[in-house]
Chain A
Amino acid sequence: MANMSLTKVKISEQDPAVRNHNFLEVSLGYTAEEAMEEASRCLGCKNEPCRGGCPVAVSIPQFIAQVKEGNFAEAYRILSGDNALPAVCGRVCPQETQCESKCVRGIKGEPVAIGRLERFVADWARENGITNEVKIEKNGDKVAVVGSGPAGLTCAGELAKMGYDVTIFEALHTAGGVLSYGIPEFRLPKEIVRKEIEGLQKMGVDVETNMVIGKVLSIDELFERGYKAVFVGSGAGLPQFMKIPGEGLCGVYSANEYLTRINLMKAYTEGAPTPLLHSKSVAVVGGGNVAMDAARCAKRMGADKVYIVYRRGEEELPARKEEVHHAKEEGIIFELLTAPLSIEGDEKGRVNKMKCIRMELGEPDASGRRRPVPVEGSEFDMEVDTVIMAIGTSPNPLIRSTTPGLEANKKGCLVTKEDASTTREGIFCGGDAATGAATVILAMGAGKHAAKSIDEYIKSKK
């Protein structure tokens, strides 16, 4: 008998007033009892609408049915067969626009908490030392994966399962891409990322860090080294600035730099050798998940006041609802319909204020969103000592500029066909490098899709 409660089983979270002073995970996850209770809200629909909403098509009703019965190991077997990084996805996917948006229970009441259940199963398996043993028959062919973010990790995992010898080349000293340098510890503990990558290594995936492809080796040299195909999953890591006066001042960061210092270089830990400016009052410019992450980090680093400065309104915030909610609970101040004009500094070149202007929403623009228009005479000063730019990123030009014949569009994204192939034979691309900045799960979906195409390509050459 299904549990007909209209609401999800509540999940425990750290108290907002406590958690905004630490980097420990905010959401504490379901207990086994809570997970089984929530799982029994699933009706096990035959046509599986939820599955259609998942970019990697996880067998959702099947794994939830096992959770309901308390067969967590079997649930993990099903789940990890479809998804290479379930502990990550359960935490960072925007389920409200994906799987859970298609759940029939969501028509009247809240949908089944698929993300929380996915996370529970993955965490349970990790804590109980359960790994998904897959039998791999090696086929002797080598494939190179450039970048160890969600797209590269997924593509590598899928190819390894098919029997390929996969090498991932990562430019930084730690694998994981945005999972390691971008998303903060309090949303995604780095230990979990490390374990998920270890899982791939156990399947035989070789991860080589400190390898900047395009500098130390070109893609053409990878082919010379015997790789039959190359997957480019190098992301969109090039930060954008606003091109307003004062962006060279001391105290202005890109969100990438701010988050890299904190997450990858652990600037939040006592005695860490990588410094970060101590801020009292911080403006984060932007309204996406990256802006929320940067703002919540700034609060945890001890800032008294942290503002989100966004030129559109609450409805238009691109960040996940849950993250906006968490940010508000933690005391982040939202300055909506506001745009920066310039940043000013003191005699030492340190930021002391940001000049802003209020906006109102006009007619819809090409993207279909109402265009913000400045309100004349509404300029004002915001007293801040730190400004973090979180207005987006674009693909790094390194790969395309060092690989002859690899075409990119105006935004710097590699041009790909339906099957993820690029304009160069044997080179495939997916994730943010092909689409521009998007989500973790879309990158994973692209990695999975590209693995299939790479397999077909290599087989077709025999």
Chain B
Amino acid sequence: MSFKIVKKQPLNPEITLMSIEAPLIAAKAKAGQFIILRVDEQGERIPLTVAETDKDAGTVTIIYQKVGATTMQLDTLNEGESLHDFVGPLGTPTHIEGLKKVAVVGGGLGCAIAYPIAKALHEQGAEVHLIAGFRTKDLIILEDMMKNASTHLYLCTDDGSFGFSGFVTDQLKELIEAGNQYDEVFAIGPLPMMKFVCRLTKQHDIKTTVSMNPIMVDGTGMCGGCRVTVGGEMKFACVDGPDFDGHQVDFDEIIARNASYKEFEAQQKAHFCNLRGEIHG
């Protein structure tokens, strides 16, 4: 089977959008689910969230950040080329039934994961406050798409170069204190961000769902590499999640485990950069 890249579009200097030909997955994927891909025959398996699907065209859209060797290698591929492996849809879809008013909080690349959830909620008629945070103005992605997927989009930048000045947690706090009554908050982004959103919502007793991003290998429940402690119990994010009750998640444990291969990853990245330097230099 071949998984052809039909569209590639850089969203900012770090983040790229790709649409892949995968009709079976496009027909099935729901908000909150993910795929696992391998770039080539030797490649590692990496998980990426399904950002959008087009059932008629049979395509699945993924959005990735160039953070290491594999995502950088993925970014060397162009439209018309193919991925070696592309498997999904994996994970349990996000539970959105019955929600009337929600806040969806996305940080950086997490906005690519927050977007389909916001869109699904918006399509079922919920009032969606989408809070999207970026380090600075130049890194803002998906602005129009997010605007269309929400009742109100609140853009935030850490340095105040655009929109609300400060972190997404600050914006969420403002909205809660202004009297917004949310049925549920969805937080998606770096682990520390989700941890701080949960700390805030816990004070206000608002149910909060987080989308966990632990290290994965197979993504089908056979290895437990992605295990997360939730309410004192061991859960596998690839099958039981990736969504969990944020107030029950042991964030510190997963922050430590996600750093397991930091050294190796830095080496791989340096190696990849050197290799590209040789080829292009």
Contacts and interface: CB of A to CB of B under 8 A. Distances in A.
A277 B218 contact: no
A233 to B, nearest CB: 14
Contacts of B229: 248
B234 A210 contact: no
Contacts of B221: 237-238, 396-398
A265 B45 contact: yes
A77 B219 CA distance: 40
A12 interface: no
A250 B264 contact: no
B222 interface: yes
Contact of A396 (B89, B222, B227): B222
Nearest to A257: B223
B159 interface: no
Contacts, number: 117
A215 to B, nearest CB: 6
B48 to A, nearest CB: 14
Given A173-B85, A216-B89, A248-B253, A254 B223 contact: yes
A210 to B, nearest CB: 4
Nearest to B255: A349
A348 B69 contact: no
A219 B252 CA distance: 40
Contacts of B254: 248
A248 B259 CA distance: 13
A375 interface: no
Nearest to B254: A248
A192 interface: no
Contacts of A274: 44-45, 217
B268 A250 contact: no
Nearest to A278: B264
B224 A250 contact: no
B58 to A, nearest CB: 13
Interface residues of B, number: 44
A273 B224 contact: no
B256 A250 contact: yes
Contacts of B1: 208-210
Contacts of A398: 220-221, 239
B135 interface: no
Given A173-B38, A260-B217, A396-B220, A210 B86 contact: yes
B76 interface: no
B147 interface: no
A271 B69 CA distance: 12
Contacts of A215: 28, 88-90
Nearest to A393: B222
B85 A210 contact: yes
A273 B38 CA distance: 11
Contact of A349 (B38, B89, B256): B256
A212 B87 contact: yes
Nearest to A271: B271
Contacts of A254: 223-225
Interface stretch (A55-63, A239-247, A315-323, A332-340): A239-247
A9 interface: no
Given A273-B42, A273-B70, A348-B256, A173 B224 contact: no
Given A210-B85, A398-B239, A256 B259 contact: no
In the complex, the 5 A-B pairs of residues with the closest C-beta atoms, listed nearest first? A349-B256, A257-B223, A237-B222, A210-B87, A275-B264
19 contacts: A173-B85, A209-B85, A210-B86, A216-B24, A216-B25, A237-B221, A238-B221, A238-B222, A248-B229, A249-B257, A254-B223, A256-B222, A261-B217, A265-B45, A273-B43, A274-B44, A275-B264, A348-B259, A396-B222
Interface of B: 1, 24-25, 28, 38, 42-45, 69-70, 84-90, 217-218, 220-225, 227-229, 234, 239, 250, 252-254, 256-257, 259-261, 264-265, 268, 271
